[in-house]
Structure 1
Amino acid sequence: MASAGQALADNLNASERTHFVLVPLMAQGHIIPMADMACLLAEHGAQVSFVTTPVNASRMAGFIEHAVATGLAIQFVKLHFPAVEFGLPDGCENTDLLQSRDLFKNFMEACAALREPLTAYLHQQRPSPSCIISDMSHWWTADISREFGIPRLTFNGFCGFASLLRYIIVRGSLLEHVEDENELINFPGFPTPLQLTKARCPGSISVYGLEQIRKNICEEEIKSTGVVMNTFQELEALYIESFEQITGKKVWTVGPMCLCNKDINTMVARGNKASIDEAQCLRWLDSMKPGSVTFVSFGSLACTAPQQLVELGLGLEASKKPFVWVIKAGDKFPQVEEWLAQGFEEQVKNRGLIIRGWAPQVLILWHKAIGGFMTHCGWNSTIEGICAGVPMITWPHFAEQFVNERLVVDVLKTGVEVGVKAVTQWGHEQKEVTVTRDAVETAVSKLMDEGEAAEEMRMRAKEFGVKARKALEQGGTSYNNINLLIQEMGNQANASG
């Protein structure tokens, strides 16, 4: 990872460096891209303070060790997280540790209580902060930016397509008076045809008591200096341009950040338990034909019902195609384990690898044996699939995942829908089978067969993979944007200082 950017960093006097403060939402899907961002900024000569907490820092131990070993100018700010003070269990410092989504308000209030200790820490730092890049949900970081007289940029982990749609929905209060979850909604100002039901729109998830926090987030979003996005111009230029026009804000596309170091998501998540090690996984993949394997994984927060997992497994079996299947079923996992032990795992052992819990996703996606990716369409997973040049089967669950599905299927034309009929709300267990085994078999066959349509999808996916890599190479659009971001934020900080 030490590169020309590192050499540049070494040649800079510490007092001359632009100093970024990165404040991620304490959730794996938000921490991982921010960790990537920290590396990219440091490689290009900036200094970074990365805000975390003890539990999250322990999960990131491998990444922290890597940053220290490679000499990257990243300081890890480990702040005490006041979980107990805000009615949370001790050590509940990440959204995946919340026992109920009803505790999300408590979690957000605990996050806001980090403002004073973070401010005190930053007052002691030299050079002083030049810019805060904060998860959009951390509205309270705006107070810190005002106290230091520095810009605050927001980051929410969405792509340009979903960011634009979310902004149009929020600005026009489009969901406020829609009572029917299945009513189709139009989006005035969106540059290409798009209709979605309320249930499939970002922002449709309601958590009791968050009204004031939502208001604070929106007010500070309007005041922010600009937006950092984990995407690249060549992927969705029309939507990024439209976002800038509608919001009047500068968008810094600095992705795909997962290409900064393809092992970062492994290092950040190393605290999670895996049922097999990476070497076992690679040996199994090495035994498969190139492009023959479907990788199935639904991220860290999706809560899939046991009966739906069984139906998915039977569809994979019926497809007669090789697969790697990552199963997460939370406290319901024993039910799934019982089914696996009744003969399924034995029946598919020659062409199916089952991973329980966490898996090294990027490592798997980049293996030559992988020919398709069945995904929940979270943006981190989607952009990782795009970078690997792999076509997708879309199986969205909640949040902006249904929007990302439309980008993949309709705009990029690098994927097929599995045909999800119902939304699985975050924090609520899925109650029924919404995708049949026949639908799974059909989607896998459509993506993995040798037909003309499948071949065209594969070619388009490979082309986007090449463009993704070029964006972060020297002279690429994202490479240049990172340098410009560092330069501009440094100049603004010097001017105000």
Structure 2
Amino acid sequence: MATSKLHVAMFPWFAFGHLIPYLHLSNKLAERGIKVSYLLPKGASLKLQQLNHHSELIHFLTLAVPHVDGLPPGAETDSDVTFSLHDLLVSAMDKTRDQVETILSNLKPDIVFFDFARWIPAITRQLGTKSIHFSAVNACAYAFFMVPARRISVETTLEEQIQPPPGYPSATVIIKPNEAPHIAPLNDAPARASLYERLTDSLKESDAIAMRTCREIEGPYCDYLAQQYSKPVLLTGPVLSETPAAQLEEKWDKWLNKFEPGSVVYCAFGSQMRLQKEQFQEMILGFELSGFPFLVALTPPHGCSTIEEALPEGFKERIADRGWVDGGWVPQTLILKHASIGCFVSHCGFGSMWESLVSDCRIVLIPYLPAQAMAAKLMVEELKVAVEVERRVDGMIGKEGLSKAIKSVMDNETELGKSLKNNHFKWKIIFSGKNWQDEMIDIFVRDLQFILESGK
């Protein structure tokens, strides 16, 4: 089947950490002539339009998200609600089923990509089309948490859940008992049981699984998933967006140009991560203590409407022009490419993980969610390209620990600093090559065609 005749639909979970990777994959498929129908909430479509690089082939089909009691009026995506309300947002997504079924019945795409909507395979079977569970999360986390060998229920204790499932292919990429209490939302038994059931149902019922990864770093985890679910696991590669053609805005460029190449520490945790004020202040003091110039892009912490009111007393006066703390959106891809940036302090969200790997920056990790914790272990224990900040006994990131981690990766004279730099360079050469990424997508498309033509 010629790729120009292929028509796929995308229906990701209503979170920008899922919506954006699905759109990046859509762009890669559209580059090869594949038509994409992308189903998403209306508000999200407005925010993502600028990332649609092939509007002649990628068509946004907007959904009216029904209201669910307990959600703020008009809530459509994870950016509209706190983390504690995500279960209600999932219920709202489920209530779009009739709309989605009508759209898919009219379109009759060859393949539907989905993740949280476990009812998609039932629809595609009726239509005689294929469904593929596409994960925006790293394979090592899926293989650890979301496999039949684990069998999570509301009775499963936290200690039981953090034990690797039988046959898990790594003894190092695991969550340790002393880390688990600080990795939300593992402590919420109903939430983790519900998520486990939803995702394992989706994986069981789909015709194939697709992972946003590559064999070079997650091959054993992909093989384990294929074995657990007895179905093909297709790999897309990192599916990174093209570097924007736009230049870095003058305010950022002018400020960063004041500093020596490779000297500035950049920190960002994504727009959805909101810290407690005490933790926010402790981290800000850690950047000050490191002695390096720094650019920190964090959402204002809980209880604060602006970054300014959250800053520690006397901080601005002490720092002067050496540091910049911003509470708004920053162009991360362009920031990371600036010559002055030498270190990236990240929450290890999967998109940020890939962006750090193809950058020239030293990498410091502070994970908060289970998938982030697993990705951090992969980066630290197996790829050996980063350090994770040690938490205090109370689970907080202390200023001393953060400063120590930054200094350790920025020091070119120590064995650790040299080793991290050399390992990172080796992986960057592999992952940043356009031919490598293009070949990954080409193989992925051939795998899709094989599934369609073979009926498997």
TM over 0.5: yes
Equivalent residue, structure 2, for 1:399: 370
Distance (Å, rounded) in 1 between the aligned partners of 2:312 and 2:398: 21
The answer to whether the aligner puts 1:320 opposite 2:283 as a matched pair is no
Identity %: 24
Distance (Å, rounded) in 1 between the aligned partners of 2:184 and 2:223: 20
Query: In the TM superposition, what is the alpha-carbon distance from 1:305 to its structure 2 partner?
Result: 1.3
Query: In the TM superposition, what is the alpha-carbon distance from 1:241 to its structure 2 partner?
Result: 2.7
Q: Select 2:309's aligned residue among 330, 338, 342.
A: 338
- Indicate the SS of the match to 1:473: helix
Distance (Å, rounded) in 1 between the aligned partners of 2:5 and 2:201: 31
- Indicate the SS of the match to 1:33: helix
Q: Select 1:146's aligned residue among 125, 129, 149.
A: 125
Query: Could you report, residue by residue, the CA deviation over 1:60-84 in whole angstroms, capped at 9, with x for unpaired residues?
Result: 23224x433xx4x11101111112x
Q: Select 2:24's aligned residue among 22, 28, 36.
A: 36
Equivalent residue, structure 1, for 2:110: 130
Q: Select 1:329's aligned residue among 272, 288, 300.
A: 300
CA 475–179 in structure 1, closer or farther in 2 if over 3 Å, else same:
closer
The answer to whether the aligner puts 1:374 opposite 2:362 as a matched pair is no
Q: Select 1:297's aligned residue among 268, 275, 298.
A: 268
- The answer on whether the counterparts of 2:350 and 2:372 sit within 8 Å (CA) in structure 1 is yes
Distance (Å, rounded) in 2 between the aligned partners of 1:100 and 1:339: 21
Query: Could you report, residue by residue, the CA deviation over 1:302-346 in whole angstroms, capped at 9, with x for unpaired residues?
Result: 221112111111111111112111121255235852353843234
Query: In the TM superposition, what is the alpha-carbon distance from 1:123 to its structure 2 partner?
Result: 2.9
Equivalent residue, structure 2, for 1:48: 36
CA 209–393 in structure 1, closer or farther in 2 if over 3 Å, else same:
closer
Distance (Å, rounded) in 2 between the aligned partners of 1:450 and 1:213: 43
CA 152–299 in structure 1, closer or farther in 2 if over 3 Å, else same:
same
How many residues in Structure 1 have an aligned counterpart in Structure 2? 450
The answer to whether the aligner puts 1:390 opposite 2:369 as a matched pair is no
CA 171–279 in structure 1, closer or farther in 2 if over 3 Å, else same:
farther
- Indicate the SS of the match to 2:424: helix
Mapping 1:175-214, distance limit 5 Å: 179=157, 185-194=163-172, 195-196=174-175, 197=177, 198-199=180-181, 204=186, 206=188, 208=190
- Indicate the SS of the match to 1:20: strand
Mapping 1:399-438, distance limit 5 Å: 399-421=370-392, 434-438=396-400
CA 484–374 in structure 1, closer or farther in 2 if over 3 Å, else same:
same
CA 175–296 in structure 1, closer or farther in 2 if over 3 Å, else same:
farther
Mapping 1:18-33, distance limit 5 Å: 18-33=6-21
Distance (Å, rounded) in 2 between the aligned partners of 1:263 and 1:206: 40
- Indicate the SS of the match to 1:67: coil
CA 217–319 in structure 1, closer or farther in 2 if over 3 Å, else same:
closer
Equivalent residue, structure 2, for 1:429: none
More moved, 285-294 vs 138-147: 285-294
Distance (Å, rounded) in 2 between the aligned partners of 1:165 and 1:216: 16
CA 207–30 in structure 1, closer or farther in 2 if over 3 Å, else same:
farther
- The answer on whether the counterparts of 1:18 and 1:489 sit within 8 Å (CA) in structure 2 is no
- The answer on whether the counterparts of 2:42 and 2:62 sit within 8 Å (CA) in structure 1 is yes
Distance (Å, rounded) in 2 between the aligned partners of 1:322 and 1:175: 47
Query: Could you report, residue by residue, the CA deviation over 1:75-112 in whole angstroms, capped at 9, with x for unpaired residues?
Result: 101111112x55533320011212461x3333212211
More moved, 29-38 vs 298-307: 298-307
- The answer on whether the counterparts of 2:146 and 2:196 sit within 8 Å (CA) in structure 1 is no
Equivalent residue, structure 1, for 2:150: 172
Equivalent residue, structure 2, for 1:90: 73
Distance (Å, rounded) in 2 between the aligned partners of 1:402 and 1:357: 25
Q: Select 1:67's aligned residue among 45, 54, 68.
A: 54
Equivalent residue, structure 2, for 1:249: 231
Equivalent residue, structure 1, for 2:410: 448
Distance (Å, rounded) in 2 between the aligned partners of 1:180 and 1:239: 22
CA 487–100 in structure 1, closer or farther in 2 if over 3 Å, else same:
closer
- Indicate the SS of the match to 2:432: helix
- The answer on whether the counterparts of 1:324 and 1:352 sit within 8 Å (CA) in structure 2 is yes
Equivalent residue, structure 2, for 1:79: 63
Distance (Å, rounded) in 1 between the aligned partners of 2:187 and 2:250: 39
Equivalent residue, structure 1, for 2:98: 116
CA RMSD of aligned residues (A): 3.1
Distance (Å, rounded) in 2 between the aligned partners of 1:227 and 1:486: 11
Distance (Å, rounded) in 1 between the aligned partners of 2:306 and 2:58: 43
Distance (Å, rounded) in 2 between the aligned partners of 1:121 and 1:143: 15
Distance (Å, rounded) in 2 between the aligned partners of 1:474 and 1:180: 40
- The answer on whether the counterparts of 1:326 and 1:355 sit within 8 Å (CA) in structure 2 is yes
Amino acid at match of 2:222: I
- The answer on whether the counterparts of 2:283 and 2:399 sit within 8 Å (CA) in structure 1 is yes
- The answer on whether the counterparts of 2:263 and 2:292 sit within 8 Å (CA) in structure 1 is yes
Higher relative contact order, structure no. (Cα contacts within 8 Å, ≥ 6 residues apart): 1
Structure 1 residue runs of 5 or longer lacking an equivalent are 1-11, 267-276, 423-431
Query: In the TM superposition, what is the alpha-carbon distance from 1:279 to its structure 2 partner?
Result: 2.9
Query: In the TM superposition, what is the alpha-carbon distance from 1:459 to its structure 2 partner?
Result: 2.1
Distance (Å, rounded) in 2 between the aligned partners of 1:448 and 1:475: 29
Distance (Å, rounded) in 2 between the aligned partners of 1:371 and 1:351: 15
Distance (Å, rounded) in 1 between the aligned partners of 2:289 and 2:206: 51
Provide TM-score, normalisation by structure 2: 0.88
Query: In the TM superposition, what is the alpha-carbon distance from 1:133 to its structure 2 partner?
Result: 0.6
- The answer on whether the counterparts of 1:393 and 1:418 sit within 8 Å (CA) in structure 2 is yes
CA 178–199 in structure 1, closer or farther in 2 if over 3 Å, else same:
farther
Amino acid at match of 1:166: F
- The answer on whether the counterparts of 1:86 and 1:109 sit within 8 Å (CA) in structure 2 is no
Query: Could you report, residue by residue, the CA deviation over 1:218-249 in whole angstroms, capped at 9, with x for unpaired residues?
Result: 23321212221111222222322333233322
Equivalent residue, structure 2, for 1:261: 242
- Indicate the SS of the match to 2:304: helix
